[in-house]
Structure 1
Amino acid sequence: MFDQSKVFLGITPTVWTNDDFQSLGDDIGFEQCISEMALAGFQGCSVGHKFPKDPVTLKAALDLRGLRVSEPWASTYFTIADMEARTMASFQEQLAFIKAMGGTDIVVAELGRAVHQQPVSLLPNRPVMNDAEWRLLTEGLNRLGRIARDEGMRLCYHHHLGTVVQSRADVDRLMAETDPEVVFLLLDTGHLLVAGDDPLAMTRAHANRIKHVHLKDIRLDVWHAVQARHGSFFEGVMAGFFTVPGDGVIDFRPILQTLSDHGYEGWLMVEAEQDATQAHPLTYALKARAYLRDVIGW
Structure 2
Amino acid sequence: MTFRRGVSPIGWVNDDLPSLGAGTTLDTILSQARAIGFEGIELGHLFPRDPAVLRPIMERHGLAVIGGWHGMRLLSHDADAEIAAMMPHLDLLAGVGATVVVSAEVSNAIHTRRSHPLADRPRLGEGDWPEFGRRLDRVAAAVADRGLRFAYHHHLGTVVETADDLDRLLDATGPGVALTLDTGHACYGGIDPVSVVRAHFSRIAHVHAKDVRSARHAALVRSDGSFLDGVARGIFTTPGTGELDFTPFLKTLDNLGYAGWIVVEGEQDPAIAAPDLYAAQGLATLTGASVAQSRR
Q: Identify the TM-score tier after normalising by the shorter chain.
A: over 0.9
For the residues of structure 1 that align with 2:85 and 2:254, how far apart are their CA atoms? 33
Corresponding residue for residue 218 of structure 1: 212
| Contact kept? 2:83, 2:142, Cα under 8 Å | no
Tell me, yes or no, if structure 1 residue 9 matches structure 2 residue 9: no
| Contact kept? 1:168, 1:202, Cα under 8 Å | no
Q: 1:281 aligns with which of 267, 270, 275?
A: 275
For the residues of structure 2 that align with 1:270 and 1:92, how far apart are their CA atoms? 27
Give the drift of 1:204: 2.4
Q: Secondary structure at the match of 1:73?
A: strand
Corresponding residue for residue 33 of structure 1: 29
| Contact kept? 2:8, 2:43, Cα under 8 Å | yes
For the residues of structure 1 that align with 2:53 and 2:290, how far apart are their CA atoms? 33
| Contact kept? 1:211, 1:264, Cα under 8 Å | no
Corresponding residue for residue 52 of structure 2: 56
Aligned length: 291
Corresponding residue for residue 75 of structure 2: 79
Change (3 A) 1:140 1:83: closer
| Contact kept? 1:13, 1:46, Cα under 8 Å | yes
For the residues of structure 2 that align with 1:89 and 1:22, how far apart are their CA atoms? 27
Q: 1:160 aligns with which of 126, 130, 155?
A: 155
Residue identity in the other structure for 1:8:
R
Residue identity in the other structure for 2:239:
P
Give the TM-score, by structure 2 length.
Answer: 0.94
Corresponding residue for residue 176 of structure 1: 171
Tell me, yes or no, if structure 1 residue 265 matches structure 2 residue 259: yes
Corresponding residue for residue 181 of structure 2: 187
Tell me, yes or no, if structure 1 residue 207 matches structure 2 residue 210: no
| Contact kept? 1:211, 1:265, Cα under 8 Å | no
For residues 6-60 of structure 1, the C-alpha deviation after alignment (integer angstroms, 9 at most, x for no partner) is: x311100101001111111012111101111111110111111111112122121
For residues 52-103 of structure 1, the C-alpha deviation after alignment (integer angstroms, 9 at most, x for no partner) is: 11212212111111101111211111112x4655522232222111110112
Q: How big is the alpha-carbon RMSD for the aligned residues of Structure 1 and Structure 2? A: 1.6
Q: Secondary structure at the match of 2:272?
A: coil
For structure 2, the 5+ residue unaligned runs are none
For residues 95-134 of structure 1, the C-alpha deviation after alignment (integer angstroms, 9 at most, x for no partner) is: 1111101122111101121011122220x21101113432
For the residues of structure 2 that align with 1:83 and 1:152, how far apart are their CA atoms? 22
| Contact kept? 2:79, 2:136, Cα under 8 Å | no
| Contact kept? 1:207, 1:258, Cα under 8 Å | no
Corresponding residue for residue 18 of structure 2: 22
Q: 1:67 aligns with which of 39, 59, 63?
A: 63
Residue identity in the other structure for 1:152:
G
Corresponding residue for residue 150 of structure 1: 145
For the residues of structure 2 that align with 1:89 and 1:109, how far apart are their CA atoms? 16
For the residues of structure 1 that align with 2:200 and 2:72, how far apart are their CA atoms? 22
Tell me, yes or no, if structure 1 residue 227 matches structure 2 residue 227: no
Q: Secondary structure at the match of 1:107?
A: strand
201-210 or 137-146: which moved more? 201-210
For the residues of structure 2 that align with 1:151 and 1:232, how far apart are their CA atoms? 36
For the residues of structure 2 that align with 1:257 and 1:208, how far apart are their CA atoms? 16
For residues 167-203 of structure 1, the C-alpha deviation after alignment (integer angstroms, 9 at most, x for no partner) is: 11111111111111x1111101100111233222223
Residue identity in the other structure for 1:143:
R
Residue identity in the other structure for 1:160:
H
Q: 1:47 aligns with which of 35, 43, 46?
A: 43
| Contact kept? 2:265, 2:279, Cα under 8 Å | no
Give the TM-score, by structure 1 length.
Answer: 0.93
Q: Secondary structure at the match of 1:72?
A: strand
- Give the percent of matched residue pairs that are identical in Structure 1 and Structure 2: 38
Tell me, yes or no, if structure 1 residue 290 matches structure 2 residue 257: no
Change (3 A) 1:251 1:216: same
